[in-house]
Amino acid sequence: MKTLIAAIFLLVFSNTTYSQEIVFSELPGAPVIINPANTGYFDGNWRFFNNYRVRTGNFNAPSYSGVVGFDKQFEIYNQQINGGFFYHSDISSLNTLYVHQFCFTTSYHLRISSTSIISFGIHAGLINKRTDNRNLTAPEQYDISIGQFNTGLPSGEIFTIEKKWYPDLGSGLSWRKKIKRGLLDAGIAAYHLNKPQEKFLFTESVISQKYIVHGAFEVNVNTNTIVKPRFFYSINDAASELNAGGSITYKLNYYTHINAGIFYRSGFKRNSDALIFYAGMKFNNWTLGLNYDYDISGLHNITTRSNAFEISLIYIRPSTKLDNLKEPCILY
């Protein structure tokens, strides 16, 4: 029994430690975390974004993840320079691993034609990881008198609380083009370019570089309906993720849009992970998104389904500047 619990703990813990990255189902909900080149890419003055995600079923212990950020457009010598920041927090199952990220992003948008823009972005962050074993139990702590585990009993195990701070650097490139009946959007990004090191469970490791490729295509079917297929692919050493699907936007009027979509996500070694159901609404300058991940990975055969619920909120402050050269912008 003791060996089994230790094996499960090490499996969950090591996988979380070495591959714990920012993962959200709604790609447009926090575009800056996907690619720093997306900083300042919106029609307006400044943007506030917020995502919160809860995933259940990981051995009956939920995990939590959230991000809040802000970015703004600046015009310097008739050039658009953008800046922003975001904070990301992640608490793993059983509250054993805490991750906090404080990141700044900047981008430069270069108009190469009347319908195309290339953006260059830089990401600079500081990451803190901390372990905490206070919620873990061992077989020796099972109290027959109460019929459950008692953390007040000695475990016979020695765990240490470890903390680690390290910088993280990244960069990105994106391209947008306005076409006859819609917009094209594609980009690439790379993170952990400085190859930061971390040490957990007495093991030192170098965090491998993470690469992202993403794209979207907005098609105006008619004056009121927009179809938006898009995809996201990331690879980090042996771990990879593919998120692909599409959504439909229907314009009730100029100020109010409703959205619905479905996406598919695959995980490690192309194994199916989840179906993602999306619904959202845009009203004036506010955009609300709701996502539900339905676990199709098959891991529910050994534990409960790891379904997830996610909510996002974006506010874009309208620009007060009159500008005839308005950027194309995919409205998700």
Summarised one tens digit per residue, pLDDT across range 253-285 is 999 999 999 999 987 566 788 999 999 999 999
pLDDT given at position 156: 66
Residue 98 has pLDDT above 50, yes or no: yes
pLDDT given at position 25: 86
Report the length, in residues, of the chain: 332
Residue 155 has pLDDT above 90, yes or no: no
Beta bridge partners of 51: 67, 312
Residue 29 has pLDDT above 90, yes or no: no
pLDDT given at position 32: 92
Is 123 within 8 Å of 103 (Cβ atoms)?
A: yes
* 3-state helix, strand and coil shares in percent for the chain, rounded to the nearest 5: 10, 55, 30
Mean pLDDT for the chain?
Answer: 83
- Output the CA angle 121-317-319, nearest 5 degrees: 85
Is 56 within 8 Å of 307 (Cβ atoms)?
A: yes
pLDDT given at position 13: 40
Rounded-to-integer distance, Cα 78 and Cα 80, Å: 7
Indicate the SS3 state at residue 31.
helix
Residue 329 has pLDDT above 60, yes or no: no
Rounded-to-integer distance, Cα 26 and Cα 12, Å: 24
Residue 132 has pLDDT above 80, yes or no: no
pLDDT given at position 328: 47
pLDDT given at position 304: 56
Rounded-to-integer distance, Cα 55 and Cα 305, Å: 10
Rounded-to-integer distance, Cα 20 and Cα 205, Å: 14
Q: With the CA atoms of 163, 60, 235 and 51 taken in that order, what torsion angle do they form, in degrees rounded to the nearest 10? A: -80
Taking alpha carbons only, the member of 141, 134, 172 closest to residue 155 is 141
Rounded-to-integer distance, Cα 295 and Cα 304, Å: 10
pLDDT given at position 95: 65
* pLDDT band, very low/low/confident/very high, at 173 (cuts 50, 70, 90): very high
* Lowest mean per-residue pLDDT among 133-142, 214-223, 231-240: 133-142
Residue 34 has pLDDT above 80, yes or no: yes
* pLDDT band, very low/low/confident/very high, at 204 (cuts 50, 70, 90): confident
The structure tokens 């306005």 sit at: 178
CATH value of 2-317 in 2.40.160.40, 2.70.98.60, 3.40.50.11440, 3.40.50.10140:
2.40.160.40
Contacts of 115 (CB under 8 A, 6+ apart): 177, 178, 179, 328
Indicate the SS3 state at residue 230.
strand
163 or 312, higher pLDDT:
312
pLDDT given at position 198: 77
pLDDT given at position 276: 95
The structure tokens 């720093």 sit at: 36
Residue 90 has pLDDT above 80, yes or no: yes
Range 80-85, long-range pairs (CB < 8 A, 24+ positions):
80/40, 80/108, 80/109, 81/106, 81/107, 81/108, 82/39, 82/40, 82/41, 82/106, 82/107, 82/108, 82/109, 83/39, 83/40, 84/32, 84/39, 84/40, 84/47
- Which H/E stretch holds residue 48? strand 46-55
Residue 305 has pLDDT above 70, yes or no: no
157 or 59, higher pLDDT:
157
Max avg pLDDT among 4-18, 86-100, 120-134, 272-286: 272-286
